Chains A and B, each alone.
Chain A
C-alpha cells in the first residue's frame, strides 16, 4: 500500500510517500518512493521540493497561502505524469499524520475521528506552536483525500509507559491534576524506531533488553527503554528540559527564571526566548548552534566553543549513567539524529570513561561510522553501542499499517494515579 506521511508545521508541510505493508515491514523492505516539502506557506514565494530516488530534485515556486493549497499542490505534483510517482492521487491508500502532543489521552497511534480531533485540540494548550498546524494539515489532507483512513502518530505516545515516579515533577500535586503538568517527553517516534531497529541489527528481542536511545539533533533527548517500554526520557513538559541543545538550555535550576526576570527586568516573552533561542551551544559558545561549527571552532582554539562542546557531551554522559542506574544496567546504547549519526567526536567524548560500566569504544569503528548504521564498540564490550539513523516517517507509515491491521501496540502507563 502507498502511504502518504505528513508532517505539518506552521509554515511548512513535509511529506513522503512510502510503500509498505505487513510483509514488507517484516522483511524490512519498506520503500520510500518520494520525499518532499512545501516551504514558506502564507507567502507569495512558497517553494515545493520533490525528491524521487534516482531523479533530479524537482523545484517549483508559487503563492501558497494555506495548508490546504500546499497539500493540494503536493498531491498534484505526486500524480504528475512527468515529475510524479503516482498514476493518480487515489493510489494513496492511507495518510499518516505526525502529531506532536497527544497529552495523556493518546498512548498509541489511532485512526483520526471527530472525537480524536477534539482531543488533539484539547492538547493544543500543551503544544500551542505544534498541534494547531498539525491539525490544519489533517483538515487539508482530509479534504483532499476524504475516502482514505487518516492515522495520527504522536511524538509523546511512546513515553506514556513512564511510571508516575518518573513523569511527575516535585511540585504541588494539584498542579498536575489541574494543568496536566508533568513530563511527557518528545521524539517518541524516533526513540521507538531506533530501539526497534538497533535490536533488529543485533538480532535481539528488544522486549528482553535494557536500552538507552540517544537522539542528538536540532533538539536532543535520551530515553531509557526497559524491556521495550520507555521508563524515562530527558525532555519534559516541553522540549526544553534535559540535554544542552543547539539554542536551548536543557536542565537548569528553575530559580534562575524568576531571579533573572526580577534582576534584568525581563518579560515572560524575553526570558522564554532566552532559554529557547539564545542558549545552548549557541549561547555558551557565542559561535554557532551547529555542532559542526562548534567542533571547527574548538579545533581552532576557541575556548567557549570548547566548553560548550564539553558541556554537551558531559550531559549526554550524565544521562547515560542515570538511565543505566534507573534500569539496573544497560545492554546497548543507540545513537541517532544529525549529531548522533554524524559526529564521532561527540560520541567519543560522551562515552569516554564508561569502561567501568562495560562500554569499550572501538575508536576506529566510531571514527568511520557517519551517516549510516554501524556498531562502534569492541567485540569484547559488554554493552553494545550502535549508530542507527532514525526514520520517523517510516515508523509513521508502519503505524498506519499496524493500526489498519489491528496490531498497533499501546503504551499505557503501568499504574494510574489521581
Chain B
C-alpha cells in the first residue's frame, strides 16, 4: 500500500511538541497537536505563538509565514485525530508508563502500517514497543531542541521495528530538512550519551573548585567554538531532566562514568532546575536570558 505523508499527529504540546509541530507545519504538513485539556491547549497555543513572534523579531520568520504555520496546526484534546494521520509522534515526559499508555491509544486508532514515533532521549524503544499489538510500527526519533534549527535527528531502530517503518521515519526526517543519524537502540543513543559525561565532568570541575562555573563554561565554549558551554546547556535543558537521563543511563549501563555528580543532585533537590526556574549554575530572567554573563562572554568580530 502506498504511504504518503500529509497529516502528522503530535501527542503533547509541551516545549518539544510545539517545536516539532512548528517545524512540521513549516514544511507544509498538517499537524494535530493533542493536549490534555482546553486550558493546556490555550497555554500551548499561546506559547507557540510567542516563540514564532520571537523568531520574527530575530528575522528568521515573516508574519505571513507565521500565519501559514498556525493555519496548519490544529489543537485537540482527544486521541481521535490520530485516525487520519499518516504518522504520529509522542512527546510527553520521559515516563515509561505514560508513554506506554499513549502508544496503546495511538495503536488502536491508526492504520496498521503508519509509523508511531517515540521521541525520547533515553528510554528503550524495544521495551515500549514490545507491550504493543504492532511493535514493528514503533520507531524512535530523538529530536533536539529547538527542532526548527537543529539539523540533526537520531532515528532509532528498536529490536522489532520493521524496515518499512524505519525507512518512513528516515524519509520523514529528510522531509523536515534534517540529517537522520541511524542508530540502534542503546541508552542515550549518540547525542545524549556523548554530551552527558561532558556536562558531568564540567560539574565535577566546579565542585572540585578548579574554576568558577562561569569560567568553566567560557573556557569550553570559546575553546571548542561551541555556541554555549556545557553548564549553560544543562541549565537550558533543565537540570532535573539532565539528572534523570544520567540516572537512567547509569542504571542501564552500570558504567561509573555516567554516575551523576553529587553537585547536580544537590541543585535539583534545592529546586534550582536551570533557566526555567531562573537559577541553575547561572541566573536567568523571565525570558530565559542569562543575567550574569562575564564581560568576556560577548560576541565580537575578530
Docked-complex contact B301 and A271, CB < 8 angstroms: no
Chain B, residue nearest A265 (CB)? B299
Docked-complex contact A266 and B58, CB < 8 angstroms: yes
Taking CB atoms, residues of chain A closer than 8 Å to B4 are: 65
Docked-complex contact B299 and A262, CB < 8 angstroms: yes
Docked-complex contact B149 and A263, CB < 8 angstroms: no
**Residues 114-149 of chain B: 1 if any A CB is under 8 Å from the residue's CB, otherwise 0?**
000000000000000000000000000000000001
Does A142 sit at the interface, judged by CB under 8 A? no
Does B61 sit at the interface, judged by CB under 8 A? yes
Categorize the interface residue count of chain A: 20 to 34
Identify the stretch in A19-27, A171-179, A237-245, A272-280 within 8 Å (CB) of chain B at 4 or more residues. Answer: A272-280
Given A43-B28, A267-B149, A278-B59 contact (CB < 8 Å): yes
Chain A, residue nearest B59 (CB)? A274
Partner of A42, one of B28, B58, B62, B299: B28
Does A88 sit at the interface, judged by CB under 8 A? no
Interface members, chain A 246-278 (any B CB < 8 Å)? 247, 258-259, 262-267, 269-271, 273-274, 277-278
Does B6 sit at the interface, judged by CB under 8 A? yes
Does A91 sit at the interface, judged by CB under 8 A? no
Does B300 sit at the interface, judged by CB under 8 A? yes
Does A44 sit at the interface, judged by CB under 8 A? yes
Chain A, residue nearest B299 (CB)? A262
Does B209 sit at the interface, judged by CB under 8 A? no
Per the bound structure, the CA–CA distance linking A262 and B298 in Å amounts to 9
Chain A, residue nearest B62 (CB)? A277
Chain A, residue nearest B227 (CB)? A265
From residue B292, how far is it (CB to closest CB) to chain A in Å? 17
Chain B, residue nearest A274 (CB)? B59
Chain A, residue nearest B302 (CB)? A262
Interface members, chain B 35-77 (any A CB < 8 Å)? 58-62
Taking CB atoms, residues of chain A closer than 8 Å to B300 are: 262
Given A43-B28, A273-B59, A273-B61, A258-B301 contact (CB < 8 Å): yes
Q: How many residues of B contact A (CB 8 A)?
A: 12
Per the bound structure, the CA–CA distance linking A324 and B58 in Å amounts to 40
The DSSP consensus for interface residues of chain B is loop
Taking CB atoms, residues of chain B closer than 8 Å to A44 are: 6
Taking CB atoms, residues of chain A closer than 8 Å to B62 are: 247, 273, 277-278
Docked-complex contact B299 and A263, CB < 8 angstroms: yes
Per the bound structure, the CA–CA distance linking A61 and B140 in Å amounts to 37
Taking CB atoms, residues of chain A closer than 8 Å to B149 are: 267, 269
Docked-complex contact B60 and A273, CB < 8 angstroms: yes
Partner of B59, one of A11, A42, A43, A270: A270
Docked-complex contact B60 and A269, CB < 8 angstroms: yes
From residue B88, how far is it (CB to closest CB) to chain A in Å? 19
Taking CB atoms, residues of chain B closer than 8 Å to A277 are: 59, 62
**Residues 2-40 of chain B: 1 if any A CB is under 8 Å from the residue's CB, otherwise 0?**
001010000000000000000000001000000000000
Interface members, chain B 270-302 (any A CB < 8 Å)? 299-301
From residue A278, how far is it (CB to closest CB) to chain B in Å? 5
Taking CB atoms, residues of chain B closer than 8 Å to A270 are: 58-60
Taking CB atoms, residues of chain B closer than 8 Å to A266 are: 58-59
**Residues 164-178 of chain B: 1 if any A CB is under 8 Å from the residue's CB, otherwise 0?**
000000000000000
Chain A, residue nearest B4 (CB)? A65
Chain B, residue nearest A269 (CB)? B60
Per the bound structure, the CA–CA distance linking A272 and B149 in Å amounts to 14
Per the bound structure, the CA–CA distance linking A65 and B29 in Å amounts to 12
Chain B, residue nearest A247 (CB)? B62
Partner of B301, one of A259, A269, A273, A278: A259
From residue A283, how far is it (CB to closest CB) to chain B in Å? 9
Per the bound structure, the CA–CA distance linking A263 and B58 in Å amounts to 12
Chain B, residue nearest A44 (CB)? B6
Taking CB atoms, residues of chain A closer than 8 Å to B61 are: 273
From residue A45, how far is it (CB to closest CB) to chain B in Å? 11
Chain A, residue nearest B60 (CB)? A270
From residue B54, how far is it (CB to closest CB) to chain A in Å? 11
Per the bound structure, the CA–CA distance linking A278 and B149 in Å amounts to 19
Chain A, residue nearest B7 (CB)? A44
Taking CB atoms, residues of chain B closer than 8 Å to A263 are: 299, 301
Chain B, residue nearest A275 (CB)? B59
**Residues 13-57 of chain A: 1 if any B CB is under 8 Å from the residue's CB, otherwise 0?**
000000000000000000000000000001110000000000000
Per the bound structure, the CA–CA distance linking A21 and B26 in Å amounts to 45
**Residues 56-67 of chain A: 1 if any B CB is under 8 Å from the residue's CB, otherwise 0?**
000000000100
Taking CB atoms, residues of chain A closer than 8 Å to B60 are: 267, 269-270, 273
Docked-complex contact A271 and B299, CB < 8 angstroms: no
From residue A415, how far is it (CB to closest CB) to chain B in Å? 38
Taking CB atoms, residues of chain B closer than 8 Å to A265 are: 299
Per the bound structure, the CA–CA distance linking A264 and B299 in Å amounts to 8
Chain B, residue nearest A42 (CB)? B28
Interface members, chain B 59-99 (any A CB < 8 Å)? 59-62
Most buried by A among B59, B61, B62: B59
From residue A61, how far is it (CB to closest CB) to chain B in Å? 16
Per the bound structure, the CA–CA distance linking A42 and B5 in Å amounts to 11
Interface members, chain A 276-296 (any B CB < 8 Å)? 277-278
Per the bound structure, the CA–CA distance linking A269 and B6 in Å amounts to 25
Given A273-B60, A277-B62, A278-B59, A262-B28 contact (CB < 8 Å): no
> Could you name 23 residue pairs across A and B whose Cβ atoms are closer than 8 Å?
A11-B28, A43-B28, A247-B62, A258-B301, A259-B301, A262-B299, A262-B300, A262-B301, A263-B299, A263-B301, A264-B58, A265-B299, A266-B59, A267-B60, A269-B60, A270-B58, A270-B59, A270-B60, A273-B59, A273-B60, A273-B61, A277-B62, A278-B62
Starting from the known contacts A263-B299, A266-B58, 9 additional A-B residue pairs (CB-CB under 8 Å) come to A44-B6, A65-B4, A247-B62, A258-B301, A259-B301, A262-B299, A270-B59, A273-B62, A278-B62
Instruction: Name B residues whose Cβ lies closer than 8 Å to a Cβ of A.
Output: 4, 6, 28, 58-62, 149, 299-301
The 8 closest A-B pairs by CB, nearest first: A274-B59, A270-B60, A262-B299, A270-B59, A277-B62, A278-B59, A262-B301, A270-B58
